[in-house]
């Protein structure tokens, strides 16, 4: 196994990890910023008020994107299996 192959596998692993986590992280970020703006407008400084909406939004995004995530994971698994087959 060459260094180039290891670097390629590591790069693809990081890429797929980033792609798979993007919907959930982006939802949390956008909702967190919006809730912070709303809290600063109405001057409520309670930090626990943001947890439940963020958790619910994250669960909703996970429910709707789980099929896409599974397809991406299968694509990555096939990529790794093709590399293993070609190593022989």
Q: What is the DSSP string of 36-77?
A: HHHHHHHT---GGGGHHHHHHHHHHHHHHHHHHHHHHHHHHH
The pLDDT-based confidence of 10 (bands split at 50, 70, 90) is very high
Tokens of 60: 């909703």
Residue 26: pLDDT over 90 = yes
- The pLDDT tens digits of the residues spanning 28-44 come to 999 989 988 888 888 87
Q: Please report the pLDDT score of residue 86 as a whole number.
A: 85
Residue 47: pLDDT over 80 = no
Question: Nearest-5° angle of CA 14, CA 20, CA 24?
Answer: 125
Give residue limits of the domains in the chain: 3-87
Residue 1: pLDDT over 80 = no
The pLDDT-based confidence of 50 (bands split at 50, 70, 90) is confident
């Amino acid at each position: 196994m060459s260094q180039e192959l290891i670097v390629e596998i590591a790069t693809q692993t990081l890429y797929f990890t980033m792609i798979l986590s993007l919907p959930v992280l982006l939802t949390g970020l956008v909702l967190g910023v919006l809730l912070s703006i709303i809290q600063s407008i109405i001057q409520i400084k309670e930090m626990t008020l943001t947890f439940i909406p963020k958790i619910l939004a994250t669960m909703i995004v996970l429910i709707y994107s789980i099929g896409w995530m599974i397809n991406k994971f299968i694509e990555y698994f096939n990529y790794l299996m093709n590399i293993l087959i070609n190593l022989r």
